[in-house]
A and B are shown apart, each in its own frame.
Chain A
Amino acid sequence: GQQLNQSPQSMFIQEGEDVSMNCTSSSIFNTWLWYKQDPGEGPVLLIALYKAGELTSNGRLTAQFGITRKDSFLNISASIPSDVGIYFCAGPNAGGTSYGKLTFGQGTILTVHP
Chain B
Amino acid sequence: NAGVTQTPKFQVLKTGQSMTLQCAQDMNHEYMSWYRQDPGMGLRLIHYSVGAGITDQGEVPNGYNVSRSTTEDFPLRLLSAAPSQTSVYFCASSYSSPGSTDTQYFGPGTRLTVL
Contact = CB atoms under 8 A, between A and B. Distances in A.
Interface of A: 1, 4, 6, 9, 30-31, 33, 40-45, 48, 50, 88, 90-92, 97-107
B50 interface: yes
> Mostly helix, strand, loop or mixed at chain A's interface?
loop
Contacts of B33: 100-102
B43 A101 contact: no
A25 to B, nearest CB: 13
A9 B33 CA distance: 26
Contacts of B32: 100
Contacts of B58: 101
Nearest to B102: A48
Contacts of A30: 99
A41 B108 contact: yes
A107 B60 CA distance: 18
A97 B99 CA distance: 8
Question: Closest 7 A-B residue pairs measured CB to CB?
Answer: A92-B99, A42-B106, A100-B48, A104-B42, A31-B99, A104-B43, A98-B99
B47 to A, nearest CB: 9
Given A41-B108, A100-B48, 11 more contacts: A43-B90, A48-B103, A98-B99, A100-B56, A100-B97, A100-B98, A102-B45, A102-B98, A103-B59, A106-B41, A107-B42
B103 A102 contact: no
Interface in B5-60: 31-33, 35, 40-45, 48-50, 56, 58-59
A102 B94 CA distance: 12
B104 interface: yes
A50 B33 CA distance: 22
Contact of A105 (B42, B48, B103, B106): B42
B90 to A, nearest CB: 5
29 contacts: A1-B59, A4-B42, A9-B40, A31-B99, A41-B108, A42-B109, A43-B43, A44-B106, A48-B101, A48-B103, A50-B101, A88-B42, A90-B43, A91-B99, A92-B97, A97-B100, A98-B99, A98-B100, A99-B50, A99-B97, A100-B32, A100-B50, A100-B98, A101-B48, A101-B98, A102-B43, A103-B45, A104-B42, A107-B40
